[in-house]
A = this chain, B = another copy of it.
Amino acid sequence: VDDAAALAARVLTGDTRAVAKALSLVEEGGTGVEALLRQIGAERRASRLIGFTGGFGAGKSTLVEAVGACLLERGERVAVLAVDPSSPFTGGALLGDRIRMNRLASGGGFVRSMATRGALGGLSGAAGEAIAVLEAAGFDWVLVETVGAGQDEIDIAAEVDTVVVLLPPGAGDDVQTAKAGLLEAADLLVVNKADQPGADGVVAALEGMVALGTACDWVPSVLRTVARTGEGVEALLEAIESHQRHLDGSGRRDALRRTRRRRRVEALVAELAVDLVRANDPAAWTSTLDAVAAGELDAYTAARRLLAAIGRRA
C-alpha cells in the first residue's frame, strides 16, 4: 500500500514512467492495481475520452495517429491507448511492432499498447482502469483504439465519451444489415481510405441510415478521411470537438461518467466473487470444475453450490 501511494503520487504529477508502470499493474491485474486505483480514485481528473472502433481494413491506427498528431501540434497533452483483446488466448502477450505510432511517440505523445487480462475482467475492465490512470496523470485527451482480431467495439464504446466508428470502403452492404447497432454505438461515422473504390457507396449507405434514425439530441455526422495523407483529419477533429461541446452542454458527459462508475462496481463484484470463491476452498473449486468438465454436473448447479459455500462462511 505504501508502494501504491508513492506510485499514485507520481502518476498524479504526470510522470510518464510512473504512468507506464501503473499501466503494467493494470495489465497484470491483482492486488497491486486495486491498491493503486484506491489511491488515485478520488483524484481522478477528466480527460476527453475518444474511442476509435471498426473492423479490419478501416485503418484505425493510422487515423488515430493523425488525430493525435493534430492535437499535439496544438499543444495538448495526448495519450493513445491501443487495447489488444487477443490476450485471453496468450495470457498477456503485448503487440509486436506498433511502428505506425512512432510519429506520435516521438512528438511527445504517450502511446501504450495494452493486452487485456482474461475473459472476466475483460476489455472494458482493463481499459477502464487504464483510462483512470491516464486521467489521473492529467492528459487532456485519451484516444482509445482496439487492435487485433477482436473488435470489442461495444465494450470500448462504454468506456469513452465520444465513439468514432470507422468503416472501410466497400462495407456498404454490411451497413444495411447492422444499422441499429451502428447507430446506437456511433457518435461519429468515418469512412477512412475515402480515396479508394467503394467509399461513395458506404458514405451513401451511412447517410441514408442516419437520415432514418430517430436520435433525439445528437445526430452522428458522416465524414470522409484519408488518414495516410491527412485529408479530412482536421474536419474530424472539429466534429469530435463539436460532440464534446454537446456532451458538456447537455450534462451528458456527467451522466456517462456516473453510469461507467456504477457498471464498474458491478463488474468488480463479479470479478472479485470468482476470486473469493476460488480462494475460499481451492479443492472444492477444482473438483467442482472437473465434474462439470467431465459432463457429470451442470454449470448452474456447480456455480450455485460454489457460491453457497462463501455464504456459509463467516
Contact = CB atoms under 8 A, between A and B. Distances in A.
Interface of A: 34, 37-38, 41-42, 44, 53-62, 84-86, 88-90, 93, 95-98, 100, 119-120, 122, 124, 147-155, 157-158, 165, 167-171, 173-175, 177-182, 184-186, 193, 196-198, 202, 258-259, 261-274, 276-277, 288-289, 292-295, 298-304, 306-307, 310-314
Given A84-B181, A268-B303, 16 more contacts: A34-B300, A42-B295, A56-B174, A57-B168, A57-B170, A100-B177, A119-B267, A147-B178, A148-B180, A150-B155, A168-B170, A264-B299, A266-B289, A270-B270, A271-B303, A276-B307
A57 B264 contact: no
Contacts of A196: 170, 197-198
A95 B59 contact: no
A264 to B, nearest CB: 4
A292 B265 contact: yes
A106 B139 CA distance: 55
B88 A154 contact: yes
Contacts of A86: 154, 178, 180-182, 184-185
Contacts of A270: 120, 270-271, 273-274
Given A88-B158, A90-B184, A177-B61, A272 B150 contact: no
B265 A269 contact: no
Contact of A292 (B84, B122, B262, B303): B262
Given A57-B168, A150-B152, A168-B171, A37 B265 contact: no
Nearest to A88: B154
A149 B168 contact: no
B150 A185 contact: yes
A273 B265 contact: no
A84 to B, nearest CB: 6
Nearest to A186: B149
A268 B300 contact: yes
Contacts of A42: 295, 298
A314 B307 CA distance: 12
Nearest to A55: B55
Given A119-B124, A311-B314, A266 B274 contact: yes
Nearest to A93: B180
Nearest to A129: B299
A298 B38 contact: yes
Contacts of A97: 177
30 contacts: A41-B300, A56-B58, A56-B175, A57-B167, A57-B170, A86-B154, A86-B178, A89-B184, A95-B180, A96-B180, A120-B266, A148-B181, A149-B186, A150-B154, A151-B153, A152-B152, A196-B197, A196-B198, A197-B197, A262-B289, A265-B303, A265-B306, A268-B299, A268-B300, A268-B302, A269-B273, A269-B277, A269-B303, A276-B311, A310-B311
